[in-house]
């Protein structure tokens, strides 16, 4: 048993750490956040130059061949800086799905472009009526000439407003909620039949409602057989979100601790009051739990499917539960300052809470865990 | 990064399992698993078996007969013991007074006291708390006055766990009433047979006799029973409190208890269905399950850090809070699983010899006594509020 990072992982951590420290101060982030795009293309190019866009891909495409722990290291660093760029959408969710399903020529074209920073993607999987259920797919695809056309609606597609291409999950067989019959497609975002309503999310990111009306699409992999690959990509996404939350929770705790050491009331720093000390301790305890579960999730992706699923559900559920406590307490201990847009901690709180609304919230994952209660952990 | 056990660690786990399969007496394990009373004899029998194997003293250096185990080995051992229903090794001798003796004692003291601790020939108890000194331990008043080659001890200790069986007690006593609180305290070893000592039982809310009051009335204690320097006893006390405690999180106990709870919830019927299918109960089970996973990983991170040379200091306070809250939560779920049968109080059924009829399901007889007994977890060993104070001061710098 060894919790230390390997030399390569530590280098990755340092790279991301330096980038966030030097390139991502709060005012710079604010400028990017309030721009029309909602993030910085220059920063995206820096990601490419540093090799970050290739972390989960093979060396053939200029990648790093990383797994759960590598993505964890990157995402935790991004969480510390509240990074706005579409890394989760492009690399973790869409990129790994293309990598798993695509033909050699599709990968050659698309993965290379992702790694080089020339292509940004969004995963259009969830639907307006489906909440967090990725098998709830009413969007359909049918053959048309050499390719397919897709019709349907996709909900809160992260970075769907600015993506060059969309990876769309559509049904080629079966009924909504069937696991079989799901296929993955690449759709050009500018194609006819694609309409997007983009918007900002409360935590400063961007997303879109997407309507597809006979939009031309290119199939990835085998028809009707995307579910396993999709779930693997979503699992990686969960690891990345857990890690991002952990990074953000760490900073929220640090800012709060600094604040209660400085803020004076009744002639003393408010951190002298035991009521606040204990709340601060509880925040740190939640952070430790979140970190533990992120490590557990990141290191469990290769295990048997039920054990992996159980651990990921538990991890994301803890992130939802602990994240809420940390976010709320960070605001509370900052008092009125915690309510202000100009205070960084409010932005951390918003991102931490919104992470619970991505790829399944506390209730959803507890339900998953309840279904897996009989899975024996020691079988791992 | 690899959260799995190494082949060597797995081999060690197999060795522990083989030992427990072969040597743990079935009657003792059955008492532990069925929450029946463990007698003094049971505890001593098991500890002597451990000592024969050389596994009694996990935390001692090897030159004194310790195992020399790594923190991860200790963790594995504790988890397997809990899973098999081995009695918890009583900490007062082997894990409390002995490390203090090894660190601060004279050669004579080590030779005299350590071997009987290792072989469980002498039963120790702890004389720290007093009626007026709980969380504020340094406020203790029991005084020891030097008279020639003796100290004369007067005062009262309380919450003395299993003191009714004890041969010896290690005490914090005040030797300088004029010094600042922490500076006038000494660490003294006292033979319980000494004239002037009275032990009075305290019956706790679950009807058990686990703790006692110990009164000292002109008790003469030879000066060679002083450990370390006079008036430096607080150093010993602090050393003991920060002494490595891999088991403080109680992960093994919680895992075994949760496993048992699930078995019970599969059997108990509610509205014609197993209780485990009740949405509310299942939700709480899931909550305990995920919190236990988080606790186990946090414990392992701390253990691994200790292995790598970091000393677990105030971090163990996190583990104490998280671990005790979780164990208490599990006892609450057991109580709920029993339903109305949580109410009958039949202490005679805790006796392994009881062969009369039970009332309600077998597991239900102990759920409420255990629930109330386990309230102690967040109070003793430094209450959870004191643990938060420690973290606030030592880790957060508040």
Please state the domain extents for chain A.
7-115, 121-224, 228-379
Average pLDDT in chain B: 94
Are B1 and A3 inside 8 Å of each other by CB?
Answer: yes
Separation of alpha carbons A233 and A92, rounded Å: 7
Pick the CATH number of A121-224 from 1.10.10.60, 2.40.110.10, 2.30.60.10, 2.102.10.10: 2.40.110.10
Q: Which domains does chain B have, with CATH numbers?
A: 7-89 (no CATH), 123-231 (2.40.110.10), 244-394 (1.20.140.10)
* Predicted pLDDT at A288: 97
* Mean pLDDT, residues A148-161: 98
Mutation target for B interface from A281, A296, A369, A380: give the one with most B CBs within 10 A. Answer: A281
Are B1 and A295 inside 8 Å of each other by CB?
Answer: yes
Q: Cα–Cα–Cα angle for B139, B386, A272, nearest 5°?
A: 95
In this complex, the residue of A299, A373, A380 whose CB is nearest that of residue B285 is A373
Q: Which residue has the tokens 């090794």?
A: B89
Chain A contact present for B11, CB below 8 A: no
Chain A contact present for B285, CB below 8 A: yes
* Mean pLDDT, residues B248-277: 95
Are A293 and B297 inside 8 Å of each other by CB?
Answer: yes
Chain A contact present for B227, CB below 8 A: no
Interface of B with A in 357-396 (CB under 8 A): 385, 388-389, 391-392, 395-396
* Predicted pLDDT at B100: 96
* Mean pLDDT, residues B174-191: 96
Q: How confident is the model at residue B303 (pLDDT cuts 50, 70, 90)?
A: confident
State which fold the A7-115 domain adopts: Butyryl-Coa Dehydrogenase, subunit A; domain 1 (1.10.540)
- Give residues with Cβ within 8 angstroms of B29, minimum separation 6: B84, B85, B86
Measured distance between the N- and C-terminal CA atoms of chain B, rounded to whole angstroms? 33
Separation of alpha carbons A6 and A9, rounded Å: 5
- Same-fold call for A7-115 versus A121-224: no
Query: How many other C-beta atoms lie within 10 A of the C-beta of residue B196?
Result: 15
> From the CA of B141, how many Å to the nearest CA of chain A?
27
* Mean pLDDT, residues A344-363: 98
> From the CA of B60, how many Å to the nearest CA of chain A?
23
pLDDT at position A379 over 60: no
Decide: helix, strand or coil at residue A77. Answer: helix
pLDDT at position B293 over 60: yes
For chain A, counts of helices (H) and of strands (E): 12, 9
The b/e string for B76-104 (b: 16+ C-beta within 10 A; e otherwise) is: bbbbbbbbbbbbbbbbbbbbbbbbbbbeb
- Give residues with Cβ within 8 angstroms of A268, minimum separation 6: none
Separation of alpha carbons A94 and A106, rounded Å: 13
Q: Cα–Cα–Cα angle for B381, B387, B388, nearest 5°?
A: 160
Mutation target for A interface from B135, B294, B382: give the one with most A CBs within 10 A. Answer: B294
Instruction: Give the bridge partners for A195, in sequence order.
Output: A211
Decide: helix, strand or coil at residue B214. Answer: strand
Query: How many other C-beta atoms lie within 10 A of the C-beta of residue A330?
Result: 28
Residues in chain A: 380
pLDDT at position A185 over 60: yes
The interface predicted TM-score of the complex, written ipTM, equals 0.95
Query: How many other C-beta atoms lie within 10 A of the C-beta of residue B235?
Result: 17
Q: How confident is the model at residue A257 (pLDDT cuts 50, 70, 90)?
A: very high
DSSP one-letter code for B96: I
* Predicted pLDDT at B360: 93
Are B388 and A281 inside 8 Å of each other by CB?
Answer: yes
In this complex, the residue of B294, B295, B304 whose CB is nearest that of residue A1 is B304
In this complex, the residue of A278, A289, A380 whose CB is nearest that of residue B388 is A278
In this complex, the residue of A271, A295, A370 whose CB is nearest that of residue B282 is A370
Quote the percentage of chain A above a pLDDT of 90.
98
Instruction: From chain B, pick out residues whose CB is under 8 angstroms from the CB of A271.
Output: 396, 398
pLDDT at position B38 over 60: yes
* Predicted pLDDT at B312: 62
* Predicted pLDDT at A125: 98
* Mean pLDDT, residues B138-146: 97
Count chain A–chain B contacts defined by CB atoms under 8 A. Answer: 116
- Give residues with Cβ within 8 angstroms of A329, minimum separation 6: A256, A279, A280, A282, A283
Closest CA to A120 of A64, A63, A179, A40: A40
* Predicted pLDDT at A245: 98
Are A1 and B4 inside 8 Å of each other by CB?
Answer: yes
Separation of alpha carbons B182 and B138, rounded Å: 6
In this complex, the residue of B3, B289, B397 whose CB is nearest that of residue A295 is B3
Say what angle helices B251-267 and B71-84 make with each other, to 10 degrees. 30
Please name the helix (run of DSSP H) or strand (run of DSSP E) that holds residue A344, with its range, or none: helix A344-355
Cβ atoms of B248 and B382 closer than 8 Å: no
Chain B contact present for A288, CB below 8 A: yes
Q: Which residue has the tokens 């007093």?
A: B130
Quick one: CATH architecture of A228-379?
Up-down Bundle (1.20)
Query: How many other C-beta atoms lie within 10 A of the C-beta of residue A60?
Result: 12
* Mean pLDDT, residues B246-255: 88
Q: How confident is the model at residue B20 (pLDDT cuts 50, 70, 90)?
A: very high
Are B322 and A4 inside 8 Å of each other by CB?
Answer: no
Q: What is the pLDDT of residues A39-77, one digit of tens each?
A: 999 999 999 999 999 999 999 999 999 999 999 999 999
Quote the percentage of chain A above a pLDDT of 70.
99
Chain B contact present for A281, CB below 8 A: yes
Indicate left, alpha or beta for B360 from its phi (over 0: left) and psi (-120 to 50: alpha): left
* Predicted pLDDT at B244: 55
Please name the helix (run of DSSP H) or strand (run of DSSP E) that holds residue A230, with its range, or none: helix A227-262
Q: Cα–Cα–Cα angle for B93, B94, B96, nearest 5°?
A: 65
Chain A contact present for B280, CB below 8 A: no
What positions of B carry a catalytic annotation? 244
Average pLDDT in chain A: 97
- Give residues with Cβ within 8 angstroms of A71, minimum separation 6: A55, A56, A92, A236, A239, A240, A243, A298
* Predicted pLDDT at B239: 87
Instruction: From chain A, pick out residues whose CB is under 8 angstroms from the CB of B304.
Output: 1-3
* Predicted pLDDT at B241: 72
* Predicted pLDDT at B240: 82
Mutation target for A interface from B304, B305, B398: give the one with most A CBs within 10 A. Answer: B398
In this complex, the residue of B1, B3, B283 whose CB is nearest that of residue A6 is B1
């Amino acid at each position: 048993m060894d919790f230390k990072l390997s030399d390569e992982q530590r280098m990755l951590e340092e790279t991301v750490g330096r980038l966030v420290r030097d390139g991502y101060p709060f005012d710079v982030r604010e400028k990017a956040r309030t721009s029309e795009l909602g993030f910085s293309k220059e920063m995206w190019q820096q990601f490419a130059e540093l090799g970050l866009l290739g972390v989960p891909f093979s060396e053939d495409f200029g990648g790093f061949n990383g797994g759960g722990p590598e993505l964890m290291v990157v995402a935790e660093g991004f969480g510390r800086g509240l990074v706005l760029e579409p890394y989760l959408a492009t690399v973790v969710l869409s990129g790994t799905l293309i990598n798993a399903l695509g033909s050699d020529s599709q990968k050659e074209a698309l993965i290379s472009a992702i790694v080089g920073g020339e292509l940004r993607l969004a995963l259009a999987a969830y639907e307006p009526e489906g909440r967090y259920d990725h098998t709830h797919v009413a969007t359909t695809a049918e053959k048309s000439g050499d390719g397919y056309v897709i019709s349907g609606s996709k909900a809160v597609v992260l970075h769907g407003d600015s993506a060059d291409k969309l990876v769309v999950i559509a049904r080629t067989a079966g009924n909504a909620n069937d696991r079989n019959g799901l296929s993955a497609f690449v759709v050009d975002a500018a194609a006819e039949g694609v309409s997007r309503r983009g918007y900002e999310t409360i935590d400063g990111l961007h997303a879109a409602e997407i309507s597809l009306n006979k939009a031309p699409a290119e199939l990835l992999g085998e028809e009707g057989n995307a579910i396993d690959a999709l779930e693997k990509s979503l699992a990686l996404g969960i690891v990345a979100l857990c890690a991002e939350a952990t990074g953000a929770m760490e900073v929220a705790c640090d800012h709060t601790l600094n604040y209660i050491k400085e803020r004076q009331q009744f002639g003393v720093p408010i951190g002298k009051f035991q009521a606040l000390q204990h709340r601060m301790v509880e925040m740190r305890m939640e952070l430790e739990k979140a970190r533990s579960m992120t490590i557990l999730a990141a290191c469990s992706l290769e295990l048997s499917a039920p054990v992996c699923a159980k651990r990921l559900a538990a991890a994301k559920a803890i992130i939802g539960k602990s994240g809420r406590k940390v976010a709320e307490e960070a605001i509370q201990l900052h008092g009125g300052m915690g309510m202000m847009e100009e205070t960084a901690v409010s932005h951390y709180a918003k991102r931490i809470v919104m992470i619970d609304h991505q790829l399944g919230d506390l209730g959803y994952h507890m339900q998953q865990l309840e279904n897996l209660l009989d899975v024996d952990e020691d079988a791992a | 990064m690899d959260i799995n056990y190494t082949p060597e660690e797995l081999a060690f786990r197999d060795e522990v399992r083989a030992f427990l399969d072969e040597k743990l007496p079935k009657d003792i394990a059955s008492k532990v698993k069925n929450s029946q009373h463990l007698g003094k004899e049971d505890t001593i029998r098991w500890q002597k078996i451990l000592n024969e194997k050389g596994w009694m003293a996990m935390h001692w250096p090897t030159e004194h007969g310790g195992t020399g185990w790594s923190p991860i080995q200790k963790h594995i051992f504790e988890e397997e013991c809990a899973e098999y229903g081995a009695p918890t090794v009583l900490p007062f001798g082997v894990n409390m007074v002995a490390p203090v003796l090894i660190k601060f004692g004279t050669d004579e003291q080590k030779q005299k006291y350590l071997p009987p601790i290792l072989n469980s020939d002498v039963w120790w108890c702890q004389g720290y708390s007093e009626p007026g000194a709980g969380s504020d331990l340094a406020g203790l008043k029991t005084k020891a006055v030097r008279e020639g080659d003796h100290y004369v001890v007067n005062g009262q200790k309380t919450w003395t766990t299993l003191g009714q069986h004890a041969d010896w007690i290690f005490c914090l006593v005040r030797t300088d009433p004029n010094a600042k609180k922490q500076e006038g305290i000494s660490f003294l070893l006292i033979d319980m047979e000494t004239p002037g000592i009275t032990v009075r039982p305290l019956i706790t809310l679950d009807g058990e006799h686990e703790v006692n009051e110990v009164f000292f009335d002109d008790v003469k204690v030879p000066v060679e029973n002083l450990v370390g320097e006079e008036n430096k006893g607080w150093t010993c006390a602090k050393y003991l409190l920060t002494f490595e405690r891999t088991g403080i999180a109680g992960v093994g106990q919680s895992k075994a208890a949760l496993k048992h709870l699930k078995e019970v919830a599969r059997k108990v019927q509610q509205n014609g269905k197993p209780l485990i299918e009740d949405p509310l109960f299942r939700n709480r089970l899931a909550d305990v399950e995920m919190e236990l996973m988080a606790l186990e990983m946090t414990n392992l991170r701390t253990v691994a850090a200790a292995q790598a040379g970091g000393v677990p200091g105030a971090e163990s306070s996190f583990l104490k809070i998280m671990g005790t809250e979780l164990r208490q939560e599990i006892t609450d779920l057991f109580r709920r699983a029993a339903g109305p049968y949580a109410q009958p109080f039949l202490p005679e059924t805790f006796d392994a010899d009881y062969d009369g009829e039970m009332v309600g399901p077998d597991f239900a007889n102990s759920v409420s006594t255990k629930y109330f007994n386990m309230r102690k977890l967040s109070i003793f060993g430094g209450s959870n509020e004191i643990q938060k104070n420690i973290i606030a001061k030592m880790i957060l710098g508040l």
